[in-house]
Amino acid sequence: MKNLFKTLMPYKYTALLVLLLMAGQAFCEMNLPAYTQALIDTGIQNRGIEHIVPEAITQEEYLEAERYMTDEEKSLWEGAFENADDGVYHRKALDEETLEEMDEALLSPLANRYADIRGEEITGAVDADDTNLMAMGIAYAGDCDAAAGLDLLTIQNAFMFRCGGLMLLMSIIVMAFTTLESLLAARVGASIGKDLRSRLFKNVMSFSSTEMDDFKTSSLVTRATNDIQQVQMTSTMILRMMLFAPCICTWSIIRVYQTHAHMNFIVVTGVIAILLLAFVAFSVAMPKFKVMQSLIDALNAVSREILTGIQVIRAFGREKTEEERFDKANDDLYRNQLFVNRTMITIVPVLMVIMYGLTIWITWVSASRIDAGELQVGTMTAFIAYAMEIVFSFLMIAGMAIFLPRAGIAADRIYEVLGTETSIKNKEDAVAISKDDEPTVRFEHVSFRYPDAEENVLTDIDFEVGAGTTTAIIGSTGCGKTTLINLIPRFFDATEGRVLVGGKDVKDLTLESLRDEIGYVPQKGILFSGSVAENIRWGDQDASDEEIKLAAEIAQADRFINEKADGYDKEVSQGGSNVSGGQKQRLAIARAVVKKPKIMIFDDSFSALDMKTDVTLRKALAEHTKGSSKIIVAQRVGTILRADQIIVLDEGRIVGKGTHKELMESCEIYRETAISQLSEAALVK
C-alpha cells in the first residue's frame, strides 16, 4: 500500500488543492439541505416570517403585548421599534444575532399573548426549543404584520426567492468545484500513468537477459498495462472519493448536530451496518484480488505463446489442444473475476436496503414527534439528507478499502520492476572507447555460468580476433556459440576471466560507446513495424538514402526490395511477418552494415540464405567492410571456409582453433562436420 501512495507524492500540492476544493464543495452541499429545511419550515409553514418580533405592529397591539412583559422584557421590546406618524410601530434594522436573542427572550410573553387571543392556555415551563411555542410566536408576528398593513404574500415570496437564489448559487459553486476537482484528479491520474509507464519502460530497456528471464515478458506487459491502469484509476478515485468522504462526513456530522433532531442513534446504527457489510465483503473478496493479477499474467503468457507459434500449431494440428489450454487460463480468470464481481454487486442491494431502511426509520420516529409538535417537517427532511450524506461518505471509504488492496498489489508489482537494477551497468569510472582504438576482441580465459545454474556454459575460452580479420565460431547446437558472442556487447558478463575490446575490459567501457562500435545481427532476424528504409536506418538514424541503398546492396536485399512498386517505402509488419526468413536476415544485415561499426557480429545470420546468395553476400561484405573485425557464428562449414580464424566449440570448450586447412588436419570434430556437409572437391578449396 505504501507504494500506491508513493505514486501520489509528486502531486501532493495538487492533492492539497483538490482537498481544499472538496472542503468548499462539502460546505456548499451541506447548506443545501439547510435551505430546503428553511423553505419548508419558514417559507411554507411560517409564511416567510423568520422571527417572533413583528416587522410592524399597531400601537394598540404594541401596548397590549407589553402587559405580558417584565420590565426587562419591555426594555427589549421598546428598543426594537421606532414610532411612526401613522400609528404603526416599525421594527428597527436589527442584525440576525440580536433578533435571535430577542426570539429567546420574548418568546414567553408573546406566546402567552397569542394564546389569550386564541382563547388557549400555555401550561408548563417555556422552552425556546419548543416547536409549538415558536410556531405560536411566529403566528403572532404574522398576524401583527397583517394587521399593520404589510403584505404577507410579498414577505413569503421574498423569503422563498432569497433561499432559492442561495440554493442556486451554492449549486453553481458545487458544480464549478466538482468540475475543477475532476479535471485535477484526471490530470493527476493520467500523469501518474504516463510517469509510471515511462519509468517502467526505461528501466526494462536497461535490463539484461537475466532480468528479462526473471520477470518474463508476459508479466512485464501486464505490469506496464493492467497494473498501471489499476494504479492510475485508483489514484483518481483517491482524489475524488477518499479525500471527499472525510470532508462530507465531517460537515454532515456538524449539521446533524445543529438540527437538534435527537435521532443520532439511527445514523450510528446505519454506519455500523455499512462498516460490517464492507468488512464481510473485504474478507471474502480480498484473497481473490491477490491472485487476479497473476491469473492475468498467465492468460497473457498463454495468448502470446499461441499467437507467436500459430503456424507451428497449425502444422502439427494442435489447435484443439491449444484452445483447451487457453480456455483453462481464461476460465480461471473468469471464475476469479466472476466471484469478485458477484461479491461487489451484492453490496449494492444490501446497501439500498440499509439506506431505505434508515429513511423509513427516521420518518417513523419523526412522525410522532411532528404530531406532538416537537419536530418540524423541514427539520426531518434535512436530517434525512444529512444522514444519507454520512452513510454515503462511509460507503465511499468502505468502497476504497476494497479497491485499494488490488491497486496496492499492482503498485507493488510495478515498483518491484522499478526497484530492480540491471546486473549490466556502467562502472562509475567507465570510459568511452577511443576512435583510435583498434577493433580487436580478446577473450582471456573466460568462463560463464547462468544465474542459479550448477555448471558452466562456457569454460576457459581464450582467443583473439585481430583488427580487420574474420573469426568464425562453429560447433554443435547448444555448445555455447551465441552465449559467447553475447559477452562482447555485455548482454551478459563473464563469470570468470575478461573480455577485452580495443585492449580494454568491456566492464571498464561505457555501454553506449561499446555497443556503438558493434554491428550485431541476431540469430533470429527481428524487424519493426515501419518501412524498409526505416528498418535499415535503425543502424544509423542519420544515414542518407544513398547509404541505405548501398547497405541493402551489400546485404543482397536490393533485388527483392526493388521488385516491389513502393521499394524502400514498403511497409514491414510488426516482427517482419510479411517478409520471408531470408529477407529478414538480409534486412537485419543491411541494418548492421549501414552503422559502419568497427566490430561486426553475425549470429548464424546466413542460415536462411541459399548458397549463391550466401557467397555473394560474404564477398560484398569482405569488399566493403575491410576495416571491420568480423565474428561469424555458423552451422555451415561452407560459410566460414575462408575465415582468418575458426573456433570450434564443443560443450562450452574450445576444441579447435585455426584456419580451415589447419583444422582439417588437427580437429576431429571439425573434420567430421566438414566431411558431412561438403563434397571432397569443396573441402580442398
CA distance 577 to 171: 58
Which element (helix H / strand E) includes 364? helix 319-371
H/E stretch holding 283: helix 264-308
| Nearest C-alpha neighbor of 583 from the set 615, 617, 546 | 617
Q: Where are the domains positioned within the chain? A: 2-36+160-418, 56-149, 430-517+598-685, 524-596
* DSSP H or E stretch at residue 129: none
Fold of 430-517+598-685: Rossmann fold (3.40.50)
What letters, b where the CB count within 10 A reaches 16 and e where it falls short, cover 474-498? bbeeebbbbbbbbbbbbbbebbebe
Task: Give the 3-state secondary structure of 578-611.
Answer: CCCHHHHHHHHHHHHHCCCCCEEEEECCCCCCCH
Averaged over successive runs of 10 residues, the pLDDT of the chain (685 residues) comes to 83 89 86 84 85 89 88 89 81 88 87 83 55 82 89 89 91 92 91 92 84 81 86 87 80 75 78 80 75 80 80 80 88 87 77 83 82 74 81 75 77 88 84 86 93 87 92 89 91 91 91 90 84 88 89 88 85 80 87 91 83 84 86 86 91 91 89 80 57
The position carrying cell 567492410 is 625
Query: How far apart are the C-alpha atoms of 532 and 537, rounded to whole Å?
Result: 9
The answer to whether the beta carbons of residues 46 and 142 sit under 8 Å apart is yes
Q: In what order do the strands lie in the sheet with 653-658?
A: 518-521, 599-603, 629-634, 470-475, 645-650, 653-658
The CA distance from 497 to 49, in Å, is 97
Amino acid at 621: L
Alpha-carbon distances, residue 289 vs 230, 415, 450 (angstroms): 12, 18, 35
Contact 386, 264 (CB under 8 A): no
Nearest C-alpha neighbor of 79 from the set 104, 51, 109, 53: 53
- State phi, psi for 131 to the nearest 5 degrees: -65, -40
- Give the homologous superfamily in CATH for domain 524-596: P-loop containing nucleotide triphosphate hydrolases (3.40.50.300)
Alpha-carbon gap, residue 585 to 570, rounded angstroms: 17
- Closest of 394, 393, 368, 391 to residue 380, by C-alpha: 368
Per-residue confidence (pLDDT) for residue 373, from 0 to 100: 65
CATH class for the domain made up of 2-36+160-418: mainly alpha
User: Could you tell me the maximum CA-CA distance found in the chain, to the nearest angstrom?
Assistant: 141
- Assign 530 to helix, strand or coil: strand
Beta-carbon contacts of residue 92 (< 8 Å; ≥ 6 apart): 79, 80, 81, 82
Query: What is the structure's pLDDT at 676?
Result: 85
pLDDT of residue 437: 83
Same fold, 2-36+160-418 and 430-517+598-685: no
- What is the predicted pLDDT for the residue at 165? 92
